[in-house]
Structure formats: C-alpha cells, structure tokens
Amino acid sequence: MFGLHADWSLEVFERYFTIGDYAGGEARWCPGCGDHGVLTAVQRLMRDEQMIPESTVAVSGIGCSSRMPHYLGTYGFHGLHGRALPIACGIKSRRPDLDVWVATGDGDCFSIGAAHWIHGIRYNMDMVVMAFDNAIYGLTKAQTSPTSPLGFKTNTHPFGAIISPMNPLTVTLGITNVSFVAQVVDWNPPMLYEALKAAHRHRGTGFVRIIQRCPVYADSVSKALQGDPSRFVLLEHENGIPLDKSVQRAFPNKVNHDPANLVGAFELARDATRLPLGLLYRNPDAPCYEDFSSRGADMTPEQKLARFSAVLDTVTI
C-alpha cells in the first residue's frame, strides 16, 4: 500500500551471472574423468560467489587437467609444462584485484613444476591452486607420475613403479609460509565444493589436492579408493570445512582435527594407511607476497621513468 513505511528493500543487482556465464568450450575429457566434476564445482562456486568473469583468470600448465582454462568463460592462460604457478604469481603480482585459479596435475606440479610449486606455496599469493592427482600421466598416455603407487604398471615402468610415491601433503605442509592445505576426492561433489569455497575465501594460496579418477589409464587406483571408504579419515572441526550429514555418513573413520595445528596436520598427512579428507592446515596470518610485489603498480609511466632515472643517478660516475 502506498504511504506505508517498509523496513525492507529490494536489492537489485546490476549484473547477475548464471553458470552459463562461466562456460567456455565443450569439455573434451574422457567420459568418467574426474575433471568434469571439478569443472562443475568451480562453475557452481563462481556462480554462487558471483565472481565477475572478466575479473577472473584460470591458469594452467600442461596435462589433462590443464585444459580447464579452455572450458571456463573467464580469462585464461594455458602455459608451459610445470609453469602454471609462476604465470599465476606474475598475474597476481601486477593485478592483485583479479581472482586467480590454477589448475595443475600431479605430473605438471609435482614433477617438472616442483620448484615452482615450492616457491609458489612460499609466496602465498591470494589464489586457489587445484592439484588434480590421478597418479598417472594421462595426456601422454600412461607414464609413471610422482604419485603412482609402488608396483603400478605403466608404459615407462611395464613391470611396475620401482620407487614409492611422493606425498604432496607432507611436502606442502613443510614449505615456509604455507597457509592453507586441504585434500578431497572428485567423486564427492559436496565436499569438493565446500573445500574449493573455503580455499577461495581464504586470503592466501589455497592449495587443494584433489584425488581424481582416470578411468582409462589408472582406473584401478581410484576404484580401490571408491570401493573402500575406510581407506579415508574425515577431518572434522568447527574451523574446518563444513560438511552435511550425508557426507559424514559416507566415511566411517572420523577425527577431530584443529586446522591451526601444523604438527597434527603432519601426522595425519604422513599416515599412508588412512588418507585424510578435509582441511589439514590453515594460517590466516601468513603474509601474502602480492602485498609487497604490487607496490607501485598504480604509478603512471612518467612516475616510473622518473623513479628509474633517480635510481640510476645514484650510481652515476
């Protein structure tokens, strides 16, 4: 009725984005590949958080998972093998206002990109790093990766992998200035979504290792885990990743773990008999490198030239 005072208001958004606004090209991963579920979770999260597509950047290296920038309706950079993190850090350094998402695989990140992985975590720039881990080189057709199980047969090790797999969680937790480490599986969409949301809302590098299915070259690895939930231990805490009861019921093993406890996170991560799912560690006070590297980014070309000349004048003979 006209003339009545109302204490409510209608909030009208200038722009509202649907999932379609975050869709790029048609995904060409194999049927049953876990990458499809990750892509859907990312698009849902971008819709729910109303991320501006032109202010969002997807960065990748080389591999099956690294095709993700092609399938998102955002800016994208498909980089060289193992070089996703230095590219992402460079973007964040000069454009800290952008939402940066990194898609990298177990070979791309933990092998050829291992040095960049270590320093990328140490820089702790505000971005989400999704490490897709299917324990195989899938794009190049079944070679042993750093996380392939001992004895797993591949084209490069037809009699079985001869070295025990590396543990990405313990490595990441051991890096100076680490601020967020989580682990999930691609076949549990609610957990995957909540972990990515927590990583995105965290200020710093949100590192999420995603145990991911490869139905073509490493089907036995993921099926063994899918068929036996007792292989996992679900991490619960009021400051952890919120999970509904349907997710909790799916995993018989649970433990209360405070993500502020780095030592406790190490103990959980190193236990090969039960893989932890959830948030292992979070430190919101870790400094972010872009706070330092972006200083002066708002200077005009004239100001930059004047500052450069002034520095050169100090060494003039």
- The vertex-243 CA angle with 241 and 249, nearest 5°, equals 135
Percent above pLDDT 90 for the chain: 86
pLDDT in tens, 247-289: 999 999 999 999 999 999 999 999 989 999 999 999 999 999 9
Mean pLDDT, rounded, of the chain: 94
Question: SS3 of 93, please?
Answer: helix
Number of domains within the chain: 1
For 12, list phi and psi in degrees, rounded to 5. Answer: -110, 120
Which residue segment(s) compose the domain that 129 sits in?
19-313
* Within-domain flag for 145: yes
The closest alpha carbon to 277, from 159, 194, 201, belongs to: 194
pLDDT > 70? residue 197: yes
* Within-domain flag for 1: no
Tokens 């990583």 correspond to 199
* Within-domain flag for 8: no
The domain spanning residue 266 has which CATH number?
A: 3.40.50.970
CB atoms within 10 A of CB 238: 8
* Within-domain flag for 5: no
* Within-domain flag for 2: no
pLDDT in tens, 133-190: 999 999 999 999 999 999 999 999 999 999 999 999 999 999 999 999 999 999 999 9
* Within-domain flag for 61: yes
Q: How far apart are CA 183 and CA 169, in angstroms?
A: 8
pLDDT, position 1? 43
- H runs (alpha helix) in the chain: 35-48, 84-94, 106-110, 114-123, 168-173, 189-201, 219-226, 245-249, 262-270, 290-293, 301-313
Residues in the chain: 317
